[in-house]
Structure 1
């Protein structure tokens, strides 16, 4: 561990060094889809400021509970996501996908086929609702 920084109560970053490269990991917990727009804007502004600090030569991994459904339709978003997501995109999913596009990140869980039972990252207590809202995005 080279350094770490608690950015907000919703974002923390850490930089690691290995024999071959440096890796910058950003862990976050985004506001829910129902949160006020100002709260989402503040979160993504802080997340952008954190991403902007990452040296270009470092491998960057952004992960966490993004509360974002990105779905399985990637038309126009082929660079940042695949077609193997769960369900359909919500507003937070659009915000997150746009963020990934502007920062050259790819949403890992959408790239490869998985059985449906392995896609859900949140399941309701009654097991009737499944969502894929936790993501790992990697710099391309």
Structure 2
């Protein structure tokens, strides 16, 4: 999903369907963090904490601008 254009494409589809929160499966990302897209959406992700961990877990959430502004707090759950 980090490939060029993938996050933008997902954000565009999210806006098209008027979704506030979108859970994205089968990403298997490691580490945890957040990234704000140029279009205003935010990605929150949480996976294995170790750098050399297998890419077997990890789920990101994409939040719309409205959902991002309503977010009070977020704590990643490292495996």
Report the TM-score when normalising by structure 2: 0.41
Higher strand share: 1
Q: Greater relative contact order: 1 or 2 (C-alpha under 8 angstroms, separation 6 or more)?
A: 2
TM-score, scaled relative to structure 1: 0.29
